[in-house]
Chain A
Amino acid sequence: MSDADRSRADVPPMLRAEGLVKTYRADGVEAKAVRGVDLRIERGEFVAVTGPSGAGKSTLLHLLGGLDRPDSGQIRLDGKRVDTCNEARWAVLRRRGIGIVFQFFNLVSNLTVADNVELPALLAGSTPRQARASRKELLAELGLEGKEGSTPAELSGGEQQRVALARALVNHPGLLLADEPAGSLDSKGTREVLRLLSRFHQRGQTILMVTHDARMASAADRVISFFDGRVVDDATLGGEGRRTSGVADVLELKG
């Protein structure tokens, strides 16, 4: 983005993608996972991308987090072009600007909970004392006090995902990406993760979450329906003027 562009737009969106395309080739067969996606996410929004498995929604999230490269299209994070970044630059971005949580947590298995959370803070340049303070604050917030010395294998799935959330948020990234964050959790763990995402969102955290679970999606302010590599609908939830009798209809019992 040029300086002239920057002065024209007061506040750039947190994330802007234009014309994203990604095609996978395996055994000479092409599979188009993402076929021309435009996306704009404002600061403070909580957006869910939902759709059937195989629709390409995880690929989209991987492109936006720099874990995979688009064939074409542009990505801007906080107004800055990032699709042109090299591997090293993306690694820095994922440390400071973007936090990511995955379905299977991806914690470092031979590090303690405390070290899993402090490591990205240290890598981003925090002093050991700052890293420890941030870790303590986040773990307390996420109800994980007393688990500092545990290894990931000693925790339940829900607890591991909370550690992953702490790790993703320890450097206060502008954008949190979540890829099926409750995909491997039971219903209690799911509710817990959802409650925490909503809480961070209420404090201003921008979140983009990919999920096939409508209950998860409905916690977001905006739900993008992804289908066959394309956005087929983009709906703001909780808007005014809509019919509210839906709940009673759904709950009506016979008798």
Chain B
Amino acid sequence: MRLPLLALLAKGPAHGYELKLALEKLLGAAYPQPNVGQIYVTLNRLEKSGLIRGEDVAQSSRPNKRIYELTEAGHEAVRAWFEEPTDEPRVRDEFFMKLALAPETGVADQISLINRQRRHYLNTMRDLSKLAAAEDRDNRVAQLLIEGAMLHLQADLDWLERCQEELE
């Protein structure tokens, strides 16, 4: 959450709730919605570490709101974030641990594990298709996010097939 918030602030100063709305609009319904409390806590920490600077703005009928902007260190952190390549997801896979350990334990059967996992992935795939259909067609970022998730799942399903070939 830290770096996406910093990146949003690179565009210009904003307050916590604006940042939450901006994230939601950008990523669409498929992405787990950030909780506003979590955003305020993160902004607080970023301020303490000197990456952003906050200023209270008085509002006539409501409590003051705090507007944040990036510091020079914050700008640097955002630049560094974009320059770093990102670790690929799923280097550790809990399902793989189950599959590897099943024969040792005698409490689960590998093929049943594979079948159950496949059902789970297929159901997730179905949910993603529904999300893609419900999401605004013109929100290309949100559509690409869902498509990426589907391609990951397709790879996981292909790998389950390989497991079945080897273990059947």
Contact = CB atoms under 8 A, between A and B. Distances in A.
A255 B164 contact: no
A29 B2 CA distance: 62
Q: How large is the interface on B (under 10, 10 to 19, 20 to 34, 35 or more residues)?
A: 35 or more
Given A233-B115, A233-B118, A255-B2, A247 B129 contact: no
A251 B4 contact: no
Contact of B149 (A232, A237, A251): A251
A227 interface: yes
A247 B149 contact: yes
A227 B168 contact: yes
A217 B2 CA distance: 38
Contact of A215 (B86, B127, B150, B168): B150
A34 interface: no
Contacts of B86: 254
A125 interface: no
A248 interface: yes
B145 A237 contact: no
Nearest to A244: B127
B2 to A, nearest CB: 7
Interface string A223-244: 1010110001101011100111
Contact of B129 (A219, A227, A228, A235): A219
Contacts, number: 85
Interface string B106-134: 00000100010011111111111101000
B25 interface: no
A227 B164 contact: yes
A196 interface: no
A37 B3 CA distance: 54
B164 A232 contact: yes
A215 B154 contact: yes
Contacts of A246: 120, 123-124, 127
A228 B125 contact: no
Contacts of A106: none
A232 B120 contact: no
Contact of B119 (A215, A228, A235, A254): A235
